[in-house]
Structures are given as structure tokens and as C-alpha cells.
Amino acid sequence: MNSLQATGQLTIGTLAQRTGFNVSAIRYYEEVGLIPPATRRPSGHRVYSPEVQEVLTLVKHCRDFGFSIEETRALVSLSTSDDRDCVEAREIAQVHLNAVRAKLTELQNLERSLSKFVQACTDQCVGGPAPKCTILKDLSLEDSQLATPGRCCG
């Protein structure tokens, strides 16, 4: 057992391996204050306490769920504060859920429009010269014309 293992300290490489982050991401999260600063060995190499692994796991899951850096920072702060109420975490998650739902609606509208583009091309011009393609013609319309009833994506 080496001296780092005996003290429980983790090198940045070990931390990266255990959390699935690359070394540069760990440095970045340290730089922006999501994890506490590393201590330095006499050689200058970073070493971290075992608790940093738990924080990075939380950060990873927050990022996987699409939370912003600021939302993640707030959630990390809540995770170590016994005097704060979990309602704060719920509010952060609720705001994010609302944004995800709005984005989902936007993506569903986009999918319907693209489907209409493709179907109009299939029905009217597929196999013809590209400049006459309904997709290209409709994409060239002004926004107000694009939404006109009867157009392929309106």
C-alpha cells in the first residue's frame, strides 16, 4: 500500500478512472468551484479526499440529466448543507423539468414539420431536379409564408 492509499487521498488519474470523467473535466470542475481544490504533493501533483469522488458522482449525474453548471453548483451545495431544506432541490429540479418539457414540445413540433417536408417531397417531387424540390422551396420561404395553411409544414 502506498502512502496515498494509506491516507485515503486519490490522485486525479484514480479519480478520473473511478468517476468516468477525464482529467481535464476534473480540473475544470475544480476551477469553477464544483469540487474543492486539490491539495498538492511535494511534486505538485493533485490529490483529492475520498469525498470528492462522491461530489463528482453527483456532478456526473446532474450533467447527465442536463442540469446547467449553475444548477449543478446549487445541487452540490445543497448536498452538503444540513441546515437547508430539500424543497430547494425540488425547485431546481422542477424548473429544469419545465424546461425539458418545453424543449420536448418544441422538438415534437419540429418533428411534425420535418415529417411534412419529407412527405410533401415524396408526394410531389422526389426524383426530380433538386432546385425544384419542395423541401428546398419551402425552406427558402419567409417565416410568415412558411406557416401559411396549405404549405407543406404549416
Q: Look up the pTM and report it.
A: 0.73
Does any domain span residue 115?
no
Does any domain span residue 40?
yes
Q: What is the extent of the structural domain holding 33? A: 3-84
Does any domain span residue 38?
yes
Give how many domains the chain has, as a whole number: 1
What tens digit of pLDDT does each residue of 128-140 get? 999 989 999 989 9
Q: Determine the pLDDT at residue 124.
A: 92
The amino acid at residue 49 is S
DSSP-H helix ranges across the chain: 3-7, 12-19, 23-31, 50-64, 69-79, 87-124, 134-139, 143-146
Gap between the Cα atoms of 99 and 121, Å rounded: 33
Tell me: pLDDT of 150 over 60. no
Does any domain span residue 153?
no
Does any domain span residue 78?
yes
What tens digit of pLDDT does each residue of 12-30 get? 999 999 999 999 999 999 9
Q: Determine the pLDDT at residue 151.
A: 46
Q: Which residues contact 76 (CB under 8 A, 6 or more apart)?
A: 34, 55, 58, 59, 62
Does any domain span residue 119?
no
Give Cα separations from 105 to 15, 99, 112 (angstroms): 38, 10, 11
What tens digit of pLDDT does each residue of 73-103 get? 999 999 989 999 999 999 999 999 999 999 9
In this prediction, residues 105-134 reach a mean pLDDT of 92
Does any domain span residue 51?
yes
46 SS3 class: strand
**Domain CATH number, residue 72:** 1.10.1660.10
